[in-house]
Structure 1
Amino acid sequence: MTERLQRTRAARGRWPSRRPLADLPGGTAIPLVWSFLYFFFLLTGYYVLRPVRDAMGASADVAAVFPASMIDWFQARGISLGDFTLQVLFTGTFVAMLLLQPVYGALVSRFPRRVFLPVVYLVFIAILVGFYFAFDSGTSGRGAAFFIFVAVFNLFAVAVFWSYMADVFANEDAKRVYGYIGAGGTLGGLLGPELTTWLVEPLGVANMLLISAAFLGLCLLCIVMLMPHARRREGGQRRGEIGGDILAGLRLVAREPLLRAIALLIFFGVGVGTLLYNEQAAIVRSLAADDARVAVAFYSRLDRWINWLVLIVQVLLTRRLLVHLGVAKVLMIPALAILAGYMLLAASPLPLLIAIVQVGTRAGEFAIGKPARETIYTRVAAEWRYKAKAAIDTVVYRGGDLTFVWVHKLLAAGGSHVVFGAGILVAAAMTLGAWRVGREQARLPE
């Protein structure tokens, strides 16, 4: 053994272990295990719900999606609500998110996550049990309520997870353990669609909601087990601003070139995804007819392929790309790939090709685009991270959903070639946004 290696190991204070977890700082192993399980259970439960939500959006049974009174009201005015299913659902989601975001901001600003999270999860479990009875009995309007609920669930349960982790782990510890915790979420994102694919046919859609509720119950256990660690970290730390102020955030976005560029990238990035989602929903609607189980199984398989691809890219490429190419070049990879995908679809909008581009689009966002964008927020002021990011993630993101779901309705009259031809322009705008973000972020300190 060389003298240099001996000095290095002595400086570390102990001999390094060949087991990665053995080198964790003292006291982090137990919260790491519970955090890993928490994220695993959370994303498993979420991805059990997501295919059900997507199937409701693609359902041809308008009575399953909207209340009978709402259908009658539109019918009396000569409007077939079934022709505007996704448009109405996305509009309802946008309104619900705008109304609930201040509630979310108030909760996380005034109470520790360890205090309000258990209550939120108990409410979600109760709601899922209520949806079980609604789906089991075939209650009219269950689809729209469930579609919007999953978006709310994503905001309150999934988005706040990492805020809770910041309550549990100190900054230096977080650098060591977040990779392991993230792996738990990736595995959950793989298991959820698998469970739905295997079980939705024999058990039916309603029982999948109980399975998701069971996973949320396991999340609740993890939250409780992490409470002592969060309480120790809480100390005299200042809370607040985690939820962000939408109006203050929008003012920051309007004022700062980098934030404007990120908003542009997000808006048109959502646009390309929404156009694809709507074209795919039309195909699923024609294939699945009135059988929701077929649609749920299709969407769960799609989520499975996406999460497998995300896992492969995360493990093999993401870190290397960010380290060797930098944020600016990495942001251009998914943007240019989507632009190329839309060019192919404009020439030949085959159902299989639409599914392939959809998988590539979402996988590129989750595995490359989002990690690259999130690294930018580590180099900016807290006001940007909390207020501006909250505004972009709600108003800009859901506003993009709302805008392009109606744009698709206008374009769809001309057929898929017209939709994807216009989509090339949207993808080009997204690429311009990615280039501008890369240029502006280069001016930030490392």
Structure 2
Amino acid sequence: MSTLAIMGFLMVIVFMYLIMSKRLSAMTALMLVPVAFAIALGFGPKIGSMALDGIKKVAPTAIMICFAILYFGVMIDAGLFDPLINRILKAVKGDPLKVIVGTALLAGIVSLDGDGSTTYMITVSSMYAVHRRLGIHPLILPAMAIMQNGVMNILPWGGPTGRVMSALNLDASQVFVPLIPGMIAGTLWVLFVAYRLGLKERARLGIIKLDHAVASEMAATASVDADADNLKRPKLFWVNLAMTAALMTALVMEMLPLNVLFMLGTSLALIINYPKLSDQQERIKTHAANALPVITMIFAAGIFMGIMSGTKMVDAMAKSLVSVIPPSMGPHLALITAFASLPFTFFLTNDAFYFGIVPILVKTAASYGISPAEIARASLIGQGTHLLSPLVASTYLLVGMSGVDFGEFQKFTLLWSIGTSIVMLIVALLLGVIPF
């Protein structure tokens, strides 16, 4: 293993240790750890350019998330989600078990668009007030959202599948369709986890009897202001709903870049709901407190990724991971790829894995009679865990909107997410989609 590879793995380990042990915040660790390792490797003079390259790559995402938080913050203030929350409350009747399972189902439905950021924004915006009012453990909401999104991330338009299909010149019928039973099993696993966590929360909290007054109070808690009632715009409900539906439609159809869509949407939302300039400024000021921590972490992640790429640590890590596979294990390379996809997609970006490593694995597997499609399917198994990686920008949006600590969130969710990948792998193996 090369020095660059060793330092790359060590850097990721040090980073994970520092944030999980709460020695440093995720933001500071994302910046300071790679800088320290780059200096140790002799890249000191190039740190600035490498970091700036990384920042440029994440800037569009940061802009999108900033304005998405502002947009949904304004919609929450205006009361757009109050009817939905009240309906949910009526259906779940104060039962934490039903709330948690419902959250997982909602995340699954919203995840059909293949975009993690959209899933998190809609799921958290819709369910946060309900979870908070019932006193459900704060880590459960983001855990359900990210676990379900991890399964649906395998959709051809979700990103990873598109990457591997383009890298290997395959189509959806060869890669995605055979994995559908595994995705169904993964979804059932997420619902099982939701049920287990729901039972624990029901035992801890009991079933709360909610009358109409309490339901109204819970709907009001969706706003971050003490003067929530003054911010409600019930007469504009249908206008706001139509505007949000149009925004989501334009997002799915990719009519404009995501960041531009949310910038325009935020402008319209502010003007329509709060015509006075002073009210608009107050809304921006209020929700900027939610947006700023998320944006700073995304830019910090840009530095982390920029230095990993600029120093070629990512390339060295990829080559070293492939080289450790002994020739005797060649006939089982598809199974090895499936297991290896968990750390691969956690420590590396999807681009680095699917464009850098998977083609190498395919070439090696060909000599053992393993088809490119089988390797492609195996490489997607790790998506059940991938979204917990510190290199995934949308996860910072989820953490920020849910108001939880990144390290605590990883510790709480990681084993359950690994379980998702294992369940999908078992089904794929039993059906022969991935050979032993």
- Normalising by structure 1, we get a TM-score of 0.30
- Normalising by structure 2, we get a TM-score of 0.31
Answer 1 or 2: higher relative contact order, Cα 8 Å, separation at least 6.
2
Structure richer in helix, relative to its length: 1
